[in-house]
Every structure is written in C-alpha cells, then in structure tokens.
Amino acid sequence: MTDLLETAIKHRRYLHQIPELSFNEFKTTAYIREQLDQLAVPYFTPLDTATVVFFEGTSDSKETIGFRADIDALPILEETDLPFASNHAGVMHACGHDGHTSILLTFAESLKHQSDAGQLKTNVLLIFQPSEESNAGADALINAFPFQDYSVSKIFGLHLGPDIPEGTLATKPRFLMASATEYRIRVKGLSAHVAQKNNGSSALGAVTQIATQLAQVQHYFLNGLNQNILHIGKLSAGEAINTVATEGYIEGTIRTYEPDDLEHIKVKMKDITKSADSLFGTTTELTVAKGYPAVNNSDSLIETVTESCDKSGLTLDLLTEPYLFGEDFSFYSSVAETNFAFLGARNEEKDYIYGLHTPRFNFDEKILVKGVQYYQSILETLGAI
C-alpha cells in the first residue's frame, strides 16, 4: 500500500499545481505521457490532449474492460493554502480531476507489472479524457478513437465525492446523474423613446414574457413524477432609462433524466419564444446546445460493483435518488455497458468538507489508493487477472 500511496501522492501533487482548462490540458497531458513513457507503456493520442492506453490480455477473448479519468480543471481561484497549490492563477483542480488522473496513472503502473508477469488475462483500456467540464470531451474522444475495434464491453469511472464519507462508494443502477443542456435566448426589438413607446418593439417585454412562461413548463407540461429543471441563470434587457429596449438576453440550463422530457422542453421553449415575438413584434433566436446525456448506469454491472467494493474494503451505498449534476461520462454508454460511482472524500475531522467547484475543495490523498484498489478488484471480480 505504501508504494501505491507514494505513487498516487506524487502524481496528484504535481498535477494539482498545473491545472488547465478544457481542451488546453497540454502540460497535464505531457506529464501523463512522460509517466507512461517511463513505464514503457505505449499509448494512442486520438486528440491533442487525450491519451488512451491498451493492455493486451493473455486469453483468446477479445473483450476489453475500460477505465476512464477526466483531466481538466476549472476557472476558480484556489484558497486551500496547500504547499502544492495551483501555479496557474485563477485555475484550480476544484473538481478532483487531479485525483481521478492520479488513480488511473497509479493503476497503469500496477497493470504494467501484471501484464509483464503474464497475469493479465483480459484486455484493458485506460482513458485519460480531456474537457469534462465543458465542450463534451468524452463525445469528442468517442468520435476520434475507434472503441469498436477493441471490443470494449464495459467502462468504469470514478468521481471524488465530498458529500460522501471516506471509505464509501456511492452509485446506483440506471440514472445516477442528470442530462445537462445549456440554452441561450437572444431577443431583438425596435428602439423608440418612452414618450412614443408604441412605435417600438420591446425586447424587455419579450424577455419578461419568456421568463414567466419558462417557469411554467415544469408545472403544466411535464410528468410531475419526473425530476426536471428549467433554470434561468442570467437575464438582461435594455439600454437606457427612457427608451424601449432593443436587446434582450436569457441563458440557463436544463436538467432532465428522461430523453423525452428534454425534447418536450425544447418544443415548449420554441413555442414560448414564438409567442413572445408575436405579442411584442420582436425577433428571437433560441439556441440549445447538444449538452450531456444523463449518466445511465447499466443494471448488469451492479453485481460486479458490489463484489468489487467488498474486495477493496469499501462500503457500498446504493443511492435511491439520482443527482442533478451533469457529467460527460454519460457518452460512453453509446459504446459499452457503463458504471459511474462516487468515491467518498468527506472527512469532517480533517476539514475535508468543502464541495466540488469551490475554492477550498480538498481531500485526504489516502483515498486515491482505495480508488486504485477498487479498479483492481473489478478486474479480479471479472476474472481478468
């Protein structure tokens, strides 16, 4: 365990000092590839900042088991006072991706030893993926790397969880996390002096109408048994105190689990913007991003997860309710059976209580070893070693 811990700490502390934003993880990627080179482990580079490692097993089976880590950071000014705090001003590993990457790098070293000793029976794919926080790096990687050529049957992923106690692995079958879809609404009106406001077309009036109606979508048009969020995060309109507003803007996010609900929300948003234009004489542009699908864990892998938790000394918490956070691990369900889980990082005695995406997020590095052991246990459970 000491060697695993030392290795994991070395990786984590180096990576924590060089956080980089989505699709700009060049120093991070260079470090990952340098470590793999030192291990004499070959790898693929399907994207500038994506690295994929393939270990070939000894059995005749072509099945491949995948493990994924995300490598990007967030535009957050760090406030941890750690001696290895971020050297990149205004950028921080505030979501634990330095931990995820360290787990996978440490796991790669263990796999190299097992592969050299002829102990690895099943093929293993390690996925160091960029841009989870924005721009759907998983989707880009799936389009760039031929997963189908490697018969990838299962892909596992971990995320540090500061609201989950240390020593606990939290997951659930089916929906674990929501889809995350951003939208933007731009309204153009016609200017007029307030004394002759009837000559104008009020973008402010349209924005107010749209915002009011968006708030009604959940109540009137969606199944009340399903959890959905249609959130307005920013709203603005107008230029001067005594003129009719010519510009209006709304942006926000949609969170759903059922794909049909998302499509229904999109239809209603189009209806609402058209109605506002008809009433106020404005011209509205609605843009809905592709977004991240919901994380939908495969029922077939829950038994494997349960047994692997027990083998690695973790306590399994099978959640009854999903999270409304988004996560682009969801895209991997298009190429394999998947399971995503949270590795508990909460320790109140050591003050590891701060949430994801906050400037004081931190964790006890010993839990990284538990992540490596959990991945190792998955291979044991599946008969891969």
SS3 377: helix
> 111, 129, 130: which is closest to 121 by C-alpha?
111
**Which residues of the chain form beta strands (DSSP E)?**
44-47, 50-55, 64-70, 123-129, 152-165, 168-171, 174-177, 179-188, 229-237, 247-256, 283-288, 295-297, 315-318, 337-346
Is 159 annotated among the ligand-binding residues?
yes
d(CA 111, CA 39): 10
Any bridge partners for residue 190, and if so which? 201
- Looking only at the bridges linking them, the beta strands covering 152-165 and 64-70 are parallel
Q: Is residue 206 within 8 Å of residue 272, measured between CB atoms?
A: no
Would you say 156 and 67 are in contact if contact means Cβ atoms under 8 Å apart?
yes
Contact 267/224 with Cβ under 8 angstroms? no
Q: Do residues 381 and 13 make contact, with C-beta atoms less than 8 angstroms apart?
A: no
Q: Which of 366, 289, 359 is nearest to 73 (CA)?
A: 359
Say whether 95 counts as a known binding-site residue.
Answer: yes
| 97 assigned ligand-binding residue | yes
By CB atoms closer than 10 A (0-12, 13-18, 19+), residue 286 is middle
Give me the amino acid identity at 57: G
Instruction: Give 258: exposed, middle or buried? Use CB within 10 Å, 0-12, 13-18, 19+.
Output: middle
Residue list, annotated binding site for Mn(2+) = 95, 97, 133, 159, 357
Residue list, annotated binding site = 95, 97, 133, 159, 357
